[in-house]
Amino acid sequence: MSDAEGLQTRVVPVDSMSPDPAVIAEAAALLQAGRLVAFPTETVYGLGANALDPAAVRRIFVAKDRDPDDPLIVHIARASDVEMVAADVPALARELAERFWPGGLTLVLPRGERIAPEVSAGRRTVAVRMPSHPVARALIEAAGVPIAAPSANRFMRTSATTAAHVLDDLAGRIDMVLDAGPATAGIESTVVELEGDRVTILRPGAVTREMLEEALGRPVDVRGREAAAGPASPGMLERHYAPRARLVYLPGVMAPDVAAQARESAAAGVRVGLLLADEDAPGIEEEGLAVERLGPANDLERVAARLFAALRALDAAGVEVIYARGFARTGAGLAIDDRLRRASAAGREGGTGRAESG
């Protein structure tokens, strides 16, 4: 039996605020033994392995069919544990950690010697964060080691925000899933790179650019595209996060015009779905088109929280093409735009495309 198939994947419900210590201990023992456990974070579900164990980390890549050149994020239980993960922690990193940890901010730092090189795809840096979800924190604490954990989905697929999403992609490939209900943020952490006093967002996410700028009192840059040499951090591949259906992303196009394009495709015999704001949906839903409501257009955090689940719901409905409207590129809207652009880039190449979220 290979590590990628034939396992009996156990799903164990846990209370999101007060997980059973016996369940956490069982999951921690699996991690200590080099096995794989999917667990909830406040952003998305992660697929965890002991970050100090090269063989365990390699199992992540096998289970996900993940490109080994795509680095992973290391999760820690306490801020002080960053010393175990990173070779150097500059003052700016400590300032950001004090402000945003525990939470959805990932820092790219020089990789410590104890971290398996596979975590960083051989690079000299490592991405690290401290999640705020009580189950994640309890699990990492009980395991006693930092946990490498990309999102718990197959490589090239939409991120998992529920245990059911994890099973859709990884049943039979991993040992255990801790089910604590839906992830609250629903979109991955923000990844930042530090150079002197300069902060650059490599991947927008749960911590917004505006939040970082308010905390630092100065502008924060956003890297537009991945460098040709390969992704510097998780989530930077040009093609990412795509559903099985082809995604057509229409930023700047009014919702009635998005619906008009969908109707044209439907008239040609294509099974279409739409990602719309709540206020867009009335009338369009009555036409019989598959519609997933993301929330009010001005509630970008709610839209972000619904995004991946909505994409998966349209896949489950059997649509062939998904038309998605754009949202304001402020706050969480920057991350929404990033995910939809990368997912639609996959679709432009024909067929399903490749998507991954780490």
Please report whether residue 239 resides in a domain: no
- Do 284 and 168 lie in a common domain? no
- Do 318 and 250 lie in a common domain? yes
Which tens digits make up the pLDDT trace of 99-155? 999 999 999 999 999 999 999 998 999 999 999 999 999 999 999 999 999 999 998
Which tens digits make up the pLDDT trace of 180-208? 999 999 999 999 999 999 999 999 999 99
Please report whether residue 208 resides in a domain: no
Please report whether residue 280 resides in a domain: yes
CATH number at residue 320: 3.40.50.11030
Helix (H, G, I), strand (E, B) or coil at 30: helix
Domains held by the chain: number? 2
Average of per-residue pLDDT across 293-321: 97
Please report whether residue 196 resides in a domain: no
CATH number at residue 31: 3.90.870.10
Please report whether residue 219 resides in a domain: no
- Do 131 and 54 lie in a common domain? yes
- Do 163 and 60 lie in a common domain? yes
Tell which of 168, 186, 204 closes a domain: 186
Give the angle subtended at the CA of 268 by the CAs of 265 and 273, to the nearest 5°. Answer: 35
Residue among 28, 69, 243 at smallest CA distance from 153? 243
Which pLDDT belongs to residue 4? 64
Tell which of 143, 167, 186 closes a domain: 186
Which tens digits make up the pLDDT trace of 165-181? 999 999 999 999 999 99
Enter the tokens of residue 240: 């990412």
Which pLDDT belongs to residue 3? 57
What rounded mean pLDDT belongs to the chain? 91
Cα separation, 316 vs 271, in Å, equals 12
Cα separation, 243 vs 345, in Å, equals 11
Please report whether residue 143 resides in a domain: yes
Which pLDDT belongs to residue 2? 47
User: pLDDT-based confidence at 287, cuts 50/70/90?
Assistant: confident
- Whether residue 286 is predicted with pLDDT greater than 90 in this model: the reply is no
Please report whether residue 153 resides in a domain: yes
- Residue 171's domain comprises 10-99+111-186
- Do 178 and 251 lie in a common domain? no
Tell which of 151, 186, 221 closes a domain: 186
Q: How far is CA 111 from the centre of its chain?
A: 21
Give the angle subtended at the CA of 52 by the CAs of 166 and 32, to the nearest 5°. Answer: 65
Which tens digits make up the pLDDT trace of 226-255? 544 445 555 555 556 889 999 999 999 998
- Do 133 and 280 lie in a common domain? no
pTM value? 0.92
Please report whether residue 154 resides in a domain: yes
